[in-house]
């Protein structure tokens, strides 16, 4: 009887294991046929591709055009008569995964977008994989690189479009997006803190180009220009002076720039200097002291001079009196006579 019960137990165990293996196989089969990590949503009335992408990926503005393109390709059924500007309400659409773009970015970061032409002091980069490398003359920089300079640091970078960037001391800058393609040149750089001097290259000269230099205070857009900028750096370094604000100083040397923040948009003309105190205040015209954007120039050493009145003239010696040669001969003759008498 005990043997019979044991047989029933083994039979039940065998059936359970067999059924479990069937379920696992089915699940694996479903996983192979369906991507369970895909995301879907139903289009609401009035929604657009741009609005959906911005809402889902608010912190990845540089990738918005690529994400929108993939969303359109993956969901042709969701557009009225193929018009990408008219989405069909109630359509179920597949949303591109952000990981797809992270993988794409890794490939883009292998492309050189600039080279260090000069450097001084501490200069290094941290790439998209959190790996640090020192930057020296002729070092390459890539999309996704976060560039740093120390208190004594400086580097000049020549970009692929011939733009020039002088990144000065105690600065942190991210090359967020940089590419040159027909009708789609893009330069998006983020200056977290510090100061720089920039001469724009080919990107930013065409109306279809996208050029942005972002800071915590305002975003700068340009139209073929040269400018200097200092942000979140109240303490001077490497010869620059202290300032009494953590806002942003900007000086336009050539061309025009557009400033945009929570207070609105402002265009700055050549020769103007402005202070933007925060991301909610507009620019105020200021007179920028020497040493705000670059090191103070050493003053020439002056040799002290005394006033003419304080200079004592050298004493003038009277000329020597002429010697009376006749008197001298009489004394000689007298001496001879005295010797003869003796």
Higher pLDDT, 15 or 214: 214
pLDDT of residue 244: 81
Sign, Cα dihedral of 58, 63, 69, 71: negative
Q: What are the angstrom distances between the C-alpha of 290 and each of 67, 208, 241, 248? A: 46, 36, 8, 16
Structural domains of the chain in order of their starting residue, each with its CATH number: 39-104 (no CATH), 114-285 (2.60.120.1440)
Region 234-257: mean pLDDT is: 89
pLDDT of the residue at 292 = 86
- 64-68, 97-101, 134-138, 263-267: least confident range: 97-101
Helix (H, G, I), strand (E, B) or coil at 252: strand
Residue 26 has pLDDT above 50, yes or no: no
Any residues with CB less than 8 A from the CB of 116 and at least 6 apart, and which? 123, 135, 136, 137, 138, 139, 140, 141, 155, 156, 157
Which band of pLDDT confidence, cut at 50, 70 and 90, is reported for residue 146? very high
The yes-or-no verdict on residue 172 having pLDDT over 90 is yes
Average pLDDT, the chain: 79
**pLDDT value at residue 33:** 33
pLDDT on residue 34: 33
Mean pLDDT of 231-255: 89
- As a whole number, mean pLDDT of residues 163-186 equals 92
Most confident of 13-27, 34-48, 306-320: 34-48
Q: Poorest-confidence range of 80-94, 117-131, 139-153, 154-168?
A: 80-94
Cβ contact 157:165 at 8 Å: yes
Nearest to 180 by CA among 206, 155, 157: 206
Residue 307 in this model has a pLDDT that exceeds 70: no
Residue 5 has pLDDT above 70, yes or no: no
The more confidently predicted of residues 337 and 249 is: 249
pLDDT at residue 170 is higher than 90: yes
pLDDT over threshold 80, residue 71:
yes
- Whether pLDDT at 56 is above 70: yes
Between 27 and 238, where is the model more confident?
238
Are the C-beta atoms of 45 and 89 separated by less than 8 Å? yes
Confirm if 148 and 119 have CB atoms less than 8 A apart.
no
* 195 φ/ψ angles, rounded to the nearest 5 degrees: -145, 155
Query: What proportion of the chain, given as a percentage, has pLDDT over 90?
Result: 44
Please tell me the distance from the alpha carbon of residue 19 to that of residue 25, in angstroms, as a whole number: 10
Stated as kind and residue range, the H or E segment containing 190 is strand 186-199
Residue 156 has pLDDT above 60, yes or no: yes
Instruction: Look at residue 219 in the predicted model and tell me its pLDDT.
Output: 94
Question: Is residue 195 within 8 Å of residue 240, measured between CB atoms?
Answer: yes
Q: Summarize pLDDT for 185-211 with one digit per residue, the tens.
A: 899 999 999 999 999 999 988 877 889
Q: Averaged over 8-36, what is the pLDDT?
A: 44
Q: In the numeric block, which tokens belong to residue 167?
A: 């990144």
Look at residue 290 in the predicted model and tell me its pLDDT: 85
Instruction: Tell whether the model's pLDDT for residue 12 goes beyond 90.
Output: no
- In percent, how much of the chain has pLDDT > 70? 70
pTM over 0.75: no
pLDDT of residue 231: 93
């Amino acid at each position: 009887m005990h043997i019979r019960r044991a047989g029933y137990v083994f039979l039940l165990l065998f059936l359970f294991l067999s059924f479990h293996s069937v379920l696992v196989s089915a699940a694996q089969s479903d996983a192979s046929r369906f991507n369970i990590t895909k995301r879907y949503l139903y289009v609401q009335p009035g929604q657009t591709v741009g609005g959906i992408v911005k809402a889902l990926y608010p912190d990845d503005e540089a990738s918005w055009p690529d994400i929108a393109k993939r969303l359109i390709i993956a969901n042709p059924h969701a557009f009225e008569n193929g018009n990408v500007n008219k989405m069909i309400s109630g359509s179920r659409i597949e949303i591109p995964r952000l990981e797809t773009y992270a993988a794409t970015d890794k490939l883009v970061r292998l492309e050189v977008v600039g080279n260090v032409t000069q450097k001084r002091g501490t200069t290094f980069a941290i790439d998209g994989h959190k790996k640090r490398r020192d930057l020296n003359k002729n070092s390459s920089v890539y999309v996704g690189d976060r560039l740093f300079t120390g208190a004594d640091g400086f580097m000049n970078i020549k970009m692929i479009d011939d733009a020039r960037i002088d990144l000065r001391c105690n600065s942190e800058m991210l090359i967020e997006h940089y590419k040159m393609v027909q009708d789609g040149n893009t330069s998006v750089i983020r200056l977290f803190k510090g100061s720089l001097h920039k001469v724009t290259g080919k990107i930013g000269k065409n109306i279809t180009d996208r050029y942005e230099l972002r800071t915590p205070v305002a975003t700068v857009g340009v139209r073929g220009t040269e400018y200097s900028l200092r942000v979140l750096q109240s303490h001077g370094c490497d010869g620059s002076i202290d300032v009494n604000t953590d806002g942003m100083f900007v000086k336009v040397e050539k061309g025009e720039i557009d400033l945009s923040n929570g207070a609105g948009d402002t265009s700055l003309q050549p020769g103007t200097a402005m202070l933007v105190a925060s991301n909610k205040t507009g620019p105020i015209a200021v007179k920028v002291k020497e040493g705000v954007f670059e090191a103070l120039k050493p003053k020439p050493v002056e040799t002290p001079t005394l006033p003419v009145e304080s200079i004592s003239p050298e004493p003038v010696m009277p000329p020597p009196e002429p010697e009376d040669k006749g008197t001298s001969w009489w004394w000689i003759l007298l001496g001879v006579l005295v010797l003869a008498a003796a």
